[in-house]
Structure 1
Amino acid sequence: MAQFVREVMTAGVAAVRPDASLVEAAQLMRAQDIGDVLVAQDNRLIGVLTDRDIALRAVADGFDPLTVNAESVCTPAPVCVGPDDEVSTAVTLMRQHAVRRLPVVEDGRPLGVVSLGDLAEFQDPRSALADISRAAPSAGPGTVV
């Protein structure tokens, strides 16, 4: 029996405008406890911005995260899946493109994200990756709890 992306994806979209600063994007990631946000304008996906993008494409090069915008650092035109695509399609795309997350888009409109963790929980809820994906984040150095 085929399973569809809509059954395993994380619905809802955490998104920033293309002109949002990296600080705004990072604050949204922290507030939502996520590692990426979609960059969208007029309800259309422009790119994906990850915490790693911010660290490696901006901060590591000395750019000011208050003045650099999300569009300039994000991955533009990301690989996407549709909600009615089979889960196996998402797995194949992740392998082919070496990505951990895929935006779920319908008619150009972002609906959510399917992640490695979502797929791990779907394929083997008792796996280590599924356990890690479900776990609450640990407080890191300097984190006030």
Structure 2
Amino acid sequence: MTPNPVTVDPQATLKEVATLMLEQDIGAVLVMEGDRPTGIITDRDIVIRAVAYGHDSGTAVTDYTTGDVFTMDADTSVEDAADEMGRQQLRRLPVTENGRVVGIVSIGDLAVRASGNADEQALQGVSVPSDNHNS
């Protein structure tokens, strides 16, 4: 898990988020309303959903986020998290503790830090085509 994920409020612009991604060397930012995650936006979302259509970089990030953020509790096992990432087709999974976001797990984290085949479990589900476009 990467602790303390980078977050923005819903009024942040695409340019602000892209700048954060550049400065922090990250590919995803959580959109938060208070302590509640309301969306996640990735570098790919910015390119595919906004730039490719010529949309203005001053546009609010919420127009391009993936909503309905699925989270898991911090004491969830790596294997269970990987299974759920596969089922939900998620490449990134915010981690909560007492209802507050404390980190984020990516498939890359599973590949680098997990023992066994947790990354393969998650990737198998994510690689299955679906209508769900979570990042």
Partner of 1:86: 77
Q: Distance in 1 between matches of 2:44 and 2:105?
A: 18
Give the distance between the partners of 2:28 and 2:105, measured in 1 at CA.
12
Contact 2:78 2:114 (C-alpha < 8 Å) held by counterparts: no
2:48 to 56, 74, 90: 56
Query: Match of 1:42?
Result: 34
List alignment gaps of at least 5 residues for structure 2. Answer: 117-135
SS at the partner of 2:72?
A: coil
TM-score normalised to structure 2 length: 0.79
Q: What SS does the corresponding residue of 1:75 show, helix, strand or coil?
A: coil
Amino acid at match of 1:83: A
Q: How does 1:113-128 map to 2 (within 5 A)?
A: 113-124=104-115
Structure with the greater alpha carbon radius of gyration: 1
- Give the alignment of 1:1-145 within 5 angstroms: 9-66=1-58, 68-124=59-115
- Kindly provide the CA deviation profile for residues 54-74 of structure 1, in whole angstroms up to 9, marking residues without a partner as x: 1111111221011x1111111
Gaps of 5+ in 1: 1-8, 126-145
Residue 34 of structure 1 aligns to which amino acid in structure 2? I
CA distance in 1, matches of 2:62, 2:98: 21
Aligned length: 116
**TM-score where L is the length of structure 1:** 0.74
**Does the 8 A contact of 1:79 with 1:103 survive in 2?**
yes
Percent identity of equivalent pairs: 43
CA root-mean-square deviation: 1.6
